[in-house]
Amino acid sequence: MTTSLNLITLGSGRIAIDAAVLEALPAGLRGSVLREEDDAYDGARVIWNAMIDRKPGLIVRCAGAADVMQAIRFARDNQLLVAVRGGGHNIAGSALCDGGLMIDLSPMRSVRVDVATDRAWVEPGATLADVDKETQAFGLAVPTGINSTTGIAGLTLGGGFGWLTRKYGLTCDSLLSADVVTADGELVRASATENPDLFWALRGGGGNFGIVTAFEFKLHKVGPEVLSGLVVHPFADAQTVLREYREALAAAPDEFTTWVVMRKAPPLPFLPAEWHGKEVLVLAMCDCGPIEKGEEAAARMRAIGNPIADVVGPHPFTGWQQAFDPLLAPGARNYWKSHDFAELSDEAIDLLIEAVRELPGPECEIFIGYVGGAASRIPADATAFPQRLPHFVMNVHARWRDPAMDKECIDWARRVYEGGKPFAIGTAYINFMPGDEVDRVEAAYGANYRHLTEIKQHYDPQNMFRMNQNVRPDVGLQAAE
């Protein structure tokens, strides 16, 4: 027999939901409803970052847009605190809330490709692996990230950058339209011609404005094979390698991307055993053009220094998209700190090198990505994503298993972040921001923040969608109305 349930409200109070109301909720769904006593409950609340251990009071596992509408109306009628789960990969863990309603989109994983128009329609529970599998069957791709278990929804709404960004722009730049359930439980279409203000906000503004139940993407011709792989250098050569990397990258065509990972070497089969567990610098590269052109583009980068190993060659794009999955598997504790740098200066390089010498654990690393090319040729006010100048993204990635290491690893990440402030330009990639950076959101969006608050006020004046890097409604606008 169903019993009543106390749930957390938007005002941080509690509301008792009557047993009859709870019994009626699943009757209107194709999906399911889970409570703490249900066998599937604990599995449904497990997300990628093992540091996040919250217990929603109720979980609605949605099978389609109608279920999302029903769940939002239930939350609205009862003023419930709401968290929304897509792929569950977000570092901040905003897919979960304690005591409120979790709307779980992970069962919604459909990907449909229209070859005639080079478009794909993707549901919000899909991962990058789901998207790649369907699109690469036709030699097409959405420009996404670098880890196949990442959810497409959070990636797109936060902007999204990866191996194809320099050639084809951010993930959100390939978004053509979205179906969105707003805070009043209605389904609307957002595109360049329909609700264009909402469409603007969705492209980088995060999950602040509603729940996207379908993404329509423009597809690009990629693969099925690309030139990709790793060049591994001794960490003792890091300063020279990073300076030459900086110069080689400046001369590279848009098709070619190289990112840097500095960490202790995992036991990769192509690395000599004596290097396992020692600090290394890895140049991870991918060229999305013809293989022979890629060989030419990669030559200068591969000629840097005296590498321990070079395993760059033709690989299936789907395989390359999964190459880092073993190093980013779920189940570990994670805390990230990130900066945008306009340039990779000598002083910044020295800072990062010193930080790697102090790695607190074997899975901790520092990543340097470069966002430029096509992504930098779009005006800064064309989408909510704010940083359109070519720039480097530094991500200090603390990752460990033992809770006893929490303080050591978090303190290390914070120290590196503080040291990087003199070289930073103020913006930040919101998908890399941990949950304790709520005071940084406005700066992360820069000049675009005010417009985001106005759109938030229109679509979500009560801030129902607050479990995210939150954009608050424009209170001044509310008072004027």
Per-residue pLDDT reduced to its tens digit, 266-325: 999 999 999 999 999 999 999 999 999 999 999 999 999 999 999 999 999 999 999 999
Average pLDDT over residues 49-71: 97
Q: Is the distance from CB of 460 to CB of 209 less than 8 angstroms? A: yes
3-state class of 276 per DSSP? coil
Please state, as a whole number, how many other Cβ atoms lie within 10 Å of the Cβ of residue 157. 31
Residue intervals of the chain classified under CATH 3.40.462.20 are 225-438
Examine the pLDDT at 481 and tell me if it is beyond 50: no
DSSP character at residue 267: -
3-state class of 96 per DSSP? coil
Read off the pLDDT of residues 370-395 as tens digits, 9 standing for 90 and up: 999 999 999 999 999 999 999 999 99
Helix and strand numbers, DSSP H then E, in the chain: 15, 21
Examine the pLDDT at 434 and tell me if it is beyond 90: yes
Packed helices 406-420 and 346-356: angle between N→C axes, nearest 10 degrees: 170
Examine the pLDDT at 479 and tell me if it is beyond 50: no
User: How far is the C-alpha of 305 from the C-alpha of 283, rounded, in Å?
Assistant: 11
Topology at the third CATH level for domain 5-104: 3.30.43
Residue intervals of the chain classified under CATH 3.30.43.10 are 5-104
pLDDT at 476: 61
Range 111-221 has CATH code 3.30.465.10: yes
pLDDT at 183: 97
User: How far is the C-alpha of 16 from the C-alpha of 143, rounded, in Å?
Assistant: 45
Read off the pLDDT of residues 227-272 as tens digits, 9 standing for 90 and up: 999 999 999 999 999 999 999 999 999 999 999 999 999 999 999 9
Read off the pLDDT of residues 145-158 as tens digits, 9 standing for 90 and up: 999 999 999 999 99
Backbone phi and psi for residue 388, each to the nearest 5 degrees, phi listed first: -105, -5
Q: Is the distance from CB of 350 to CB of 239 less than 8 angstroms? A: yes
Topology at the third CATH level for domain 225-438: Vanillyl-alcohol Oxidase; Chain A, domain 3 (3.40.462)
Examine the pLDDT at 201 and tell me if it is beyond 50: yes
359: left (phi over 0), alpha (psi -120 to 50) or beta: beta
**Strand 225-234 and strand 187-191: pairing?**
unpaired
pLDDT at 127: 97
Please state, as a whole number, how many other Cβ atoms lie within 10 Å of the Cβ of residue 229. 21
Packed helices 238-250 and 346-356: angle between N→C axes, nearest 10 degrees: 140
Residues whose CB falls within 8 Å of the CB of residue 439, separated by 6 or more in sequence, listed in order: none
Average pLDDT over residues 193-207: 98
Residue intervals of the chain classified under CATH 3.30.465.10 are 111-221
Examine the pLDDT at 480 and tell me if it is beyond 50: no
Please state, as a whole number, how many other Cβ atoms lie within 10 Å of the Cβ of residue 81. 23
